[in-house]
Structure 1
Amino acid sequence: MRSQPAPNALHSVSDPFAQQRVLKQIRDAALSDEELGGKNGGAAPRTVISESWRRSLATGVDPDDYLPPVVYDDDELDDVRTSHPLHAVLPPLRELLVSIADEAQHITILTDADGTILWREGPSGLCRLADPVGLHEGTRWAESAIGTNAMGTALATDAPVQIYSAEHLVRTYHSWTCAAAPIHDPDTGRVLGAIDISGRLDTLHPAMVSLVNATAQVAENHLRLRMQDSDERLRRRNLPRLERLGGEPGALLTTSGRVIAASPLGTFPHRVAVEPGTDRVDLDGREALLEPLSGGYLLRMPRKEGKTIPARPARPTLQLSFLGTAPEAQLDGRSVPLTLRRAEILALLALHPDGLTADQLALHLYGDAGNPTTVRAEVHRLRSELGDALLAKPYRLAADVDADFLRVRDALATGDLTTAASIATAPLLARSESPTIRAEREQRTVALRTAVLDSGDPEALWALSEGEPGRDDIEVFEHLTRVLRAGDPRRPVADARLAWLLDSDDDG
């Protein structure tokens, strides 16, 4: 069964121009209501839209008369582009999107983390229509600059999003529809920018949000491979320096402070906070010396009074099984009592390994209505179970996390679709209403389904069909009956299941 969006007027109208009229009515009614649709009695905007409208209006964006500000002039753009990390991913992005965009009359856009358009490509006729409304290089499309739009809202929510017609806050863009997804730095996890596809109202397909999300993952994988190559070069050049320390604890660090080699193993954390210009680092109360290298640092801890610094204790292992009916957690083999809220907190911290403040956790858990005080109380109770494996300021997991949903993400990123589908037998924390977990759950489900169907791999398709929601997905079984060879014992099972699903669909 295909993933179904939340019911609202957007999905009840097939004609794009009729849809535009419905969305305009919703927008006008919602903007006349102090609670953005809470009291007007009619159809309400999608939650992601109403929340974006609130943020945009709070910054002073005028819904009826606004254009994005120009941040960079043409003569500044070349230098800005060349120095930006996403410059390296332009070739694979062009290969994936530009030909599709040209044929379908769409514009492909790449922004920086502030929502400023650095690259734009598309059919010349469509670009001429985009120029007067500011949809061109050098303009900033953050929500605070131009209101609700796919680029700005994807960056604000750190999630893929599609914005249809009058879901744009500013009236100027009601004849446009766009889809965008954020791109992250695989080293630090920070957002580098967004990939966007924009088109006129009657040209953009709803599946575009899946396409931009997949493209963002391709960009991140490309950056990850470049990072791994850079790490290996740094190791090869400087391992002799580490070996010459003669037993003195030391490590090789990237410029961001990530440890890529250490002697002895287990002495140092995964990442060291490095301040530019300093030659010393505090590690748990002990002073370490920092020597600059080409592309990184050598970190060493000199002996004191003939004594060596003891190896850092092994980190605990936290196992999270959240793709099932009842979430389970184990810390070094010991079962950790969980409520749904505690499971949500652990999932969010696993998804954000650098940590979250109480305010950030509240936003991820409850949206704008979140209360940091409630979150602090819940985390305090969770820390009584996890001890030193859960740290504060910010809240973060000081453990090696083995989570089923992270294994699905990693398998998808490497193209191991059979493994991903075999693990993802159920949605992530299916009862969770956390906005971030809902988005993660829905995006991974769609991304996995799309990748498996596109692959045509019988093993991946079979694995997907054995889990939820694949077991009720007609298209999955249609694919299976085409790719499973005669004589394969799974073929009659797939044929029978497809017949049953089709019969049930007709009855419905």
Structure 2
Amino acid sequence: MPLDGAPPRRDAGPAQVSGSDPAGRARASADVYDSAVGGGPVRSAPRTVVSESWRRSLAAHVDPERPSPPLVYPPDQLRASGAAHPLHDLLPLLRATLASIAADAMHLMRVTDAEGHVLWREGASALLTEADRVGLSPGTCWSEDAIGTSAMGTALATDAPVQIHSADHLVRTDHSWTCVAAPVHDPDTGAILGAIDISGPLHAVHPPLLQLVSATAQLAESQLRVRLAIADERLRTRNMPHLTSLGGAPGALVTSTGRVLAAQPAGWWPDRVDLREAVDRVVQVHGCDMLVEPLAEGCLLRARGPVHRAPAPRPATALFLRCMTEDTPSVVVGGRAVPLCLRPAEMLTVLALHPAGLSAERLAHLVYGDDGNPTTVRGEVRRLRRLLEDGLLATRPYRLTATVGSDFGAVRAALAAGRLRTALASCAGPLLPRSESPEVRELRDELGAALRRAVLEDGDTALLCDFAAHPLGRTDLEVHDRLVELLPPRDPRLGPLTARRSRLQAD
């Protein structure tokens, strides 16, 4: 909505970056900008991602008339900072994937660190002078609190790919540019490492660039995961003798970031230990003091003092999902019912169906279908973790670490055992009826069809009546036809069933 709080008269569709008329879209964006930022008459609102970015930027006292972003790194510091950055070794990949395309299409490729500092820039030489004029150059800072709304800064702020076109930029001097950017994440910690950006003049805008940049960010993360796996294996191979020398005493090999790579006893250690909490080289794990011994790579954790027996594993916290309902789904954790929006409910349902865990790519496909991407999954997982107790949702692979029960699991088990009344009583409706998740749709159809078929074949009139009154059967014409045939003429249930059947036939 406009920044002064006045309601718009219509949704700002023209601010969306789509279609084939860049100049027309720029004019529409300028109208929205003048309404919201310039104090003009309120006619329309910018896209939500843009309006929220404007609010954050103005709250950080960014001046819309500011001519250029601040220069953070002079050339000598820039070289050192770039060489030390985790994305430095991926530059050949980024050049091969994006830089040549950017040059041919009159665009620039830029790569930032997590703070929005531009570390590298490549692309069309004809654009460099114009880019330097507005500060699209290495060493400058393009975070939202430094220069307002831009693809780089907003992608970092929202942790999601974004396209910013013309007057979507808060700073007026950037209105002649369009840009797309996507964040890149550390596969070890999940933290944002930086952003990949493609920028160009308005006439060179190409809507598919957002998909291209997003795919390149995912490719970069895949390469980082491969490198991390190699480093993990090297650490394990070189340092396993330190762990085996402990005999049967509790111990673990962990990375410098606290990820547990090998441990004893099995099943007792968490996936990660927060080494930042170590005091005098001692960190607590499940209430036990562990000495932190630095190695050439990573650390060895071992019990402080003699240990006569291994500590017992913590009992897993139970989760129970209620997703077969026409009302709001929920998860019960620690005896507390937490209502769920659709997306977290879909994520938990899919994870419950795959207890061994899923990669980000596989989870994205099962929840979102062909349009899914790991970046979106990581954002959803972070939000989901805030709903659950610590340690219940693990990564690499994504999995639930608690004992999980669910209404759909209870229905499936009751059907397998032939307990049809239990199956019907275990659910209050179809599984997440508004969900379009491929995995959820498949299970919803499977359970609904299996329960319906079993009830129809069972021949129990009372059970069939219960099914006809249930959300799964109340619109099923065949079920009502069958009951009208089976019930005797004087049965008090016949009248309401006949009336409902007539309405179904009319529909």
Distance 1:278 1:183, change over 3 A: farther
Alpha carbons 1:323, 1:426 under 8 Å: kept: no
User: Residue 139 of structure 1 corresponds to which residue in structure 2?
Assistant: 140
Distance 1:259 1:161, change over 3 A: same
- State, as a whole percentage, how many aligned pairs show the same letter: 46
- Determine which of 35, 46, 49 is the counterpart of 1:29: 35
Offset at 1:337? 6.1
User: Residue 90 of structure 1 corresponds to which residue in structure 2?
Assistant: 91
Offset at 1:312? 2.2
Separation in 1 of the partners of 2:203 and 2:118?
23
User: Residue 287 of structure 2 corresponds to which residue in structure 1?
Assistant: 285
Alpha carbons 1:249, 1:267 under 8 Å: kept: no
- Classify the secondary structure of the residue corresponding to 1:148: coil
Taking the TM superposition and a 5 Å limit, the aligned residue runs for 1:89-168 are: 89-168=90-169
Alpha carbons 1:182, 1:192 under 8 Å: kept: yes
- Give unpaired runs (5+ residues) of structure 2: 1-10, 373-378, 384-434, 439-507
Separation in 2 of the partners of 1:208 and 1:319?
42
Alpha carbons 1:68, 1:140 under 8 Å: kept: yes
- Determine which of 338, 360, 366 is the counterpart of 1:410: 360
2:14 is the counterpart of 1:9:
yes
Offset at 1:284? 3.1
Separation in 1 of the partners of 2:380 and 2:260?
30
Taking the TM superposition and a 5 Å limit, the aligned residue runs for 1:334-483 are: 339-341=339-341, 402=352, 410-411=360-361, 421=365, 424=368
Separation in 2 of the partners of 1:90 and 1:301?
42
Offset at 1:259? 0.3
- Classify the secondary structure of the residue corresponding to 1:266: coil
User: Residue 70 of structure 1 corresponds to which residue in structure 2?
Assistant: 71
Q: Which has the larger radius of gyration?
A: 2
2:47 alignment partner AA: R
Distance 1:251 1:257, change over 3 A: same
Alpha carbons 1:319, 1:403 under 8 Å: kept: no
Separation in 1 of the partners of 2:354 and 2:106?
40
Separation in 2 of the partners of 1:260 and 1:323?
38
- Classify the secondary structure of the residue corresponding to 1:202: helix
Offset at 1:99? 1.6
User: Residue 295 of structure 1 corresponds to which residue in structure 2?
Assistant: 297
User: Residue 19 of structure 1 corresponds to which residue in structure 2?
Assistant: 25
Distance 1:52 1:29, change over 3 A: same
Alpha carbons 2:12, 2:45 under 8 Å: kept: no
Separation in 1 of the partners of 2:111 and 2:305?
50
Alpha carbons 1:327, 1:338 under 8 Å: kept: no
- Classify the secondary structure of the residue corresponding to 2:313: coil
Offset at 1:54? 0.9
What do residues 399-420 of structure 1 show as CA deviations (whole Å, max 9, x unaligned)?
x9657799786235xxxxxx96
2:179 alignment partner AA: C
User: Residue 425 of structure 2 corresponds to which residue in structure 1?
Assistant: none
Separation in 1 of the partners of 2:132 and 2:239?
50
Alpha carbons 2:330, 2:340 under 8 Å: kept: no
Separation in 1 of the partners of 2:256 and 2:318?
27
Offset at 1:88? 1.9
What do residues 233-268 of structure 1 show as CA deviations (whole Å, max 9, x unaligned)?
000011111111110110000000110000111221
What do residues 17-60 of structure 1 show as CA deviations (whole Å, max 9, x unaligned)?
12211211110111145xxx9xx541210011111111111112
User: Residue 203 of structure 1 corresponds to which residue in structure 2?
Assistant: 204
Distance 1:215 1:409, change over 3 A: farther
Separation in 2 of the partners of 1:327 and 1:408?
26
Offset at 1:167? 0.6
Separation in 1 of the partners of 2:130 and 2:219?
29
Offset at 1:75? 1.6
Separation in 1 of the partners of 2:356 and 2:142?
31
Separation in 2 of the partners of 1:405 and 1:307?
33
Alpha carbons 2:330, 2:339 under 8 Å: kept: no
What do residues 426-470 of structure 1 show as CA deviations (whole Å, max 9, x unaligned)?
999xxxxxxx76999xxxxxxxxxxxxxxxxxxxxxxxxxx9599
Separation in 2 of the partners of 1:239 and 1:68?
49
- Give unpaired runs (5+ residues) of structure 1: 1-5, 351-399, 413-418, 429-435, 441-466, 471-508
Separation in 2 of the partners of 1:277 and 1:124?
53
- Classify the secondary structure of the residue corresponding to 1:62: coil
Alpha carbons 1:112, 1:192 under 8 Å: kept: yes
- Classify the secondary structure of the residue corresponding to 1:193: strand
Distance 1:162 1:328, change over 3 A: same
Taking the TM superposition and a 5 Å limit, the aligned residue runs for 1:224-263 are: 224-263=225-264
Distance 1:68 1:7, change over 3 A: closer
Alpha carbons 1:115, 1:142 under 8 Å: kept: yes
Distance 1:406 1:240, change over 3 A: closer
Offset at 1:314? 5.4
2:295 alignment partner AA: L
Offset at 1:70? 0.5
- Classify the secondary structure of the residue corresponding to 1:94: helix
Separation in 2 of the partners of 1:164 and 1:405?
43
Separation in 2 of the partners of 1:246 and 1:176?
63
Offset at 1:77? 1.4
Offset at 1:344? 5.9
- Classify the secondary structure of the residue corresponding to 1:215: helix
Alpha carbons 2:109, 2:196 under 8 Å: kept: yes
Separation in 2 of the partners of 1:84 and 1:251?
28
Offset at 1:207? 1.6
Separation in 2 of the partners of 1:284 and 1:162?
45
